[in-house]
Structure 1
Amino acid sequence: MITVHHLNKSRSKRVIWLLEELDMPYTLVKHQRDPNTNLAPESLKAVHPLAKAPIIVDDNVTLCESGAIMEYILNKSCTEQLRPIQNTQEYYQYLEWLHFAEGSLALPVISTLLMGMEKRSGASPLDHYIAKEIALDFTYIDNTLSKQTYFAGDNFTAADIMMTIILEIAGTLQLIDNKAHIERYLETVQQRPAYQLATSQG
């Protein structure tokens, strides 16, 4: 059985959500951020050298990185749910968005989050780059969702799980204000029972 090492207030909610969607059994180990530094605890380092969540352990396999974990779980699943058939247009859309979430979108979003937490006396060289990426990425996302219900087309997939969590962080930073299609999308996916179960884990 897969063991999920989950950190509160983190993107590791994705893994719980995926397992709930697939109705796959798992064991959940919760780790709490340091209340003073907000950093991950040393207990995660005992599981994986990077000390980052999510981490899964399954027999002799220990994996970090959300995208790799999603693919591992989908490969173990007995169903063809949540991943389109290979070599279809939907499959390549799925792959793009699965990797876009952490490959392109996470950097400007998390950078915005971190820069908002520090005391600043003026503009930084990063500001222009981050603003450009935010505008480019969220326009692309909103335009995509204006044409289809989910990121890989008409069907909900694991790419939606990857994208939703980073979009929620963006929402707390007001980066998706006035993006009607993104807001509609989030309202839709947040109604899923598996999402709500994952969210209840903290």
Structure 2
Amino acid sequence: MLTVHHLGRSQSERIVWLCEELEIPYELKCYTRDSVTMLAPADYKALHRIGSAPVITDGDLVLAESGAVVEYVIAKYGNGRLALKPDHPDFAVYLYWLHFANGTLQPSMGRCMTLNRLKLADDNPVQVAMRARLDRAFDLVDARTREAQYLAGPEFTAADIMMGFSLTTMRYFLPYDLGRCPNIVGYLARIGARPGYRRAMEKGDPGMALLLT
């Protein structure tokens, strides 16, 4: 049985959402962050040597890393659904956005979050450079969501699932004003209305306000 080990307010929400979109059987085990440190509890960290979310188990397999888990679940349980095949005209675009979340946007948000905690001056050169890089990443997503319904084109894909966390729940850790990105707001309304997303968030993080605007 595929088991999704979900840490509240973490990238593991992607895997819960994926399973709900694919409508596949899975077991969901939820873990709560430490109320003081906001870090994963010891039993979650013990699941995998990296000690962070997401983690799935499938028989004897223990697998971490969002992108790897998404591709594994799609290939093994989803019959390739929510992924585009190499002969699809939007295949390269799909690959780009599938990896953009953790390759570009999420690291930029993480660096800015760390810098914020250091309480550097607003005009600190490193702070200015990192904020500019983050703005460029959001601007690129905003431009893409102006020209396409979903990131890979007209079809909802795993690329949208990978990006969803960074555009929504990650903003609990790094607030970002989407007022400058009206197309992202429209895009989040589309994905936020999906029944699979709603089910996933209610199961994984019940009661949490969804940052869709």
The equivalent position to 1:187 in structure 2, one of 172, 184, 189, is 189
TM-score (norm 1): 0.92
Q: In the TM superposition, what is the alpha-carbon distance from 1:9 to its structure 2 partner?
A: 1.2
Indicate how the Cα distance of structure 1 residues 191 and 18 shifts in structure 2: closer, same or farther if over 3 A, else same. same
Indicate if the aligned counterparts of 2:31 and 2:44 stay in contact, CA closer than 8 A: yes
Distance 1:145 1:121 in 2: 33
Indicate if the aligned counterparts of 2:9 and 2:169 stay in contact, CA closer than 8 A: no
Indicate how the Cα distance of structure 1 residues 121 and 151 shifts in structure 2: closer, same or farther if over 3 A, else same. closer
1:8 maps to which residue?
Answer: 8
Aligned residues: CA RMSD: 1.8
Secondary structure class of the residue paired with 1:89: coil
Alignment of 1:1-202 (within 5 A): 1-120=1-120, 123-169=123-169, 173-200=175-202, 201-202=204-205
Secondary structure class of the residue paired with 1:174: coil
Q: Which amino acid in structure 2 is aligned with residue 14 of structure 1?
A: R
Indicate if the aligned counterparts of 1:109 and 1:169 stay in contact, CA closer than 8 A: no
Q: Which amino acid in structure 1 is aligned with residue 52 of structure 2?
A: K
Secondary structure class of the residue paired with 2:95: helix
Secondary structure class of the residue paired with 1:28: strand
Distance 1:2 1:73 in 2: 9
Cα distance per residue 1:147-167 (max 9 Å; x no partner): 110000000001000011101
Q: Which amino acid in structure 1 is aligned with residue 201 of structure 2?
A: T
Q: Which amino acid in structure 1 is aligned with residue 189 of structure 2?
A: E
Bigger mean CA offset, 168-177 vs 21-30: 168-177
Distance 1:130 1:120 in 2: 12
Distance 2:189 2:78 in 1: 29
Indicate how the Cα distance of structure 1 residues 177 and 110 shifts in structure 2: closer, same or farther if over 3 A, else same. farther
Q: In the TM superposition, what is the alpha-carbon distance from 1:124 to its structure 2 partner?
A: 4.2
Distance 2:133 2:124 in 1: 15
Distance 2:130 2:169 in 1: 15
Cα distance per residue 1:96-134 (max 9 Å; x no partner): 111110110011212333433454466544312212211
Secondary structure class of the residue paired with 2:9: coil
Bigger mean CA offset, 88-97 vs 141-150: 88-97
Indicate how the Cα distance of structure 1 residues 20 and 3 shifts in structure 2: closer, same or farther if over 3 A, else same. same
Unaligned runs of 5+ in 1: none
TM-score (norm 2): 0.88
Distance 2:133 2:88 in 1: 29
Indicate how the Cα distance of structure 1 residues 170 and 183 shifts in structure 2: closer, same or farther if over 3 A, else same. farther
Secondary structure class of the residue paired with 1:6: strand
Instruction: Report how many residues are paired.
Output: 202
Cα distance per residue 1:61-102 (max 9 Å; x no partner): 211110000000010135342111223331211111111101
Cα distance per residue 1:37-65 (max 9 Å; x no partner): 11111112221011111100112221111
